[in-house]
Amino acid sequence: MRLILLGPPGAGKGTQAKMLKEKFQIPQISTGDILRHAVKDNTDLGVRAKSFMDAGQLVPDDVVVGLIKERIKQADCETGFILDGFPRTMIQAEKLSETLTEMDLTIDTVVDLEVNADEVISRLAGRSTCPECGAMFHEESRPPKVLGVCDGCGGTLAQRQDDNSETILKRLEVYQESTAPLKEFYMRQGNLKTVIARGSVEEIFSRVCEMVR
Ligand code: ADP
Ligand code: ZN
């Protein structure tokens, strides 16, 4: 099964992708996570990506397209994959289509997680992540048992560098301008499914699962 998760920052793509990964045993490919790891490890890629990410802007298309091309050719992607945070521009979507065609593959479903801007801002501003295991928490909707400590692995929770109000607004603007048009692109291809991303994580997940089977 090959899936794409679309939706604004804070729509819950990462959370849903992790759940889909468990359920279907296929890899979650998050360009955001790959880039954040590169920044943390201070690789050439990370050095190149950091300033864009901190400013809430997109990392150049050629960089992320190169990453994805390499990633989806790896053996663990043979049974499928979940793209989370890619594609994010029309160019990325076109390059992805080209690459898949070359590989004789198609995308089964594009799940668009719909959520309004106010909701997104409060979700992102209250969010913290475990840098060790990737678990996500929220001060209101999903607080950790011990403040600042990961329930899963005991890691020290951190706020993402780009989860501050100024950068959040910029990311939403970039989403509207560059990523929202992809809905139209996939709608024309006939595989776009819209899911209202409101309610509990489990409620949203059951809606997502109905769309992908
Ligand atoms: P969110 O969806 O919450 O904004 P992500 O973790 O998906 O966060 O991405 C964080 C940042 O990483 C983006 O703001 C952008 O700078 C960069 N990034 C991630 N995916 C892409 C992509 N496909 N194209 C360009 N930049 C990307
Ligand atoms: Zn953890």
Residue 125 to residue 154: CA distance in whole angstroms: 22
What's the DSSP call for residue 130? -
Whether pLDDT at 140 is above 90: no
pLDDT in the model for residue 41: 94
User: For residue 72, with 0-12 CB atoms within 10 Å meaning exposed, 13-18 middle and 19 or more buried, which class applies?
Assistant: buried
Cα three-residue angle 129-134-97, rounded to 5 degrees: 115
Q: How high is the mean pLDDT of the chain?
A: 94
Residue 158 to residue 135: CA distance in whole angstroms: 11
- Indicate whether residue 172 lines ligand 1 (CB < 6 A): no
Whether pLDDT at 141 is above 90: no
- Indicate whether residue 35 lines ligand 1 (CB < 6 A): yes
Bridge partners (DSSP) listed for residue 196: 114
Q: What is the pTM of this model?
A: 0.90
- Indicate whether residue 96 lines ligand 1 (CB < 6 A): no
Taking only the tens place, the pLDDT of each residue in 57-76 is: 999 999 999 999 999 999 99
> What CATH class has 2-115+178-212?
alpha beta
pLDDT in the model for residue 16: 96
Rg of the chain over Cα atoms, rounded to whole angstroms, equals 16
Chain-centre distance for alpha carbon 44:
22
pLDDT in the model for residue 117: 83
Residue 140 to residue 120: CA distance in whole angstroms: 14
Half-sphere exposure of 137 (CA within 13 A, CB side): 22
pLDDT in the model for residue 29: 97
Domain boundaries, the chain: 2-115+178-212
Taking only the tens place, the pLDDT of each residue in 33-54 is: 999 999 999 999 999 999 999 9
Taking only the tens place, the pLDDT of each residue in 156-188 is: 999 988 888 889 999 999 999 999 999 999 999
Taking only the tens place, the pLDDT of each residue in 113-130 is: 999 888 888 888 889 999
Whether pLDDT at 153 is above 90: yes
pLDDT in the model for residue 119: 86
**Mean pLDDT of the region 98-126:** 93
pLDDT in the model for residue 18: 93
Residue 180 to residue 57: CA distance in whole angstroms: 15
pLDDT in the model for residue 118: 85
Pocket test for ligand 1, best of 171, 172, 178 (most atoms within 8 A of CB): 171
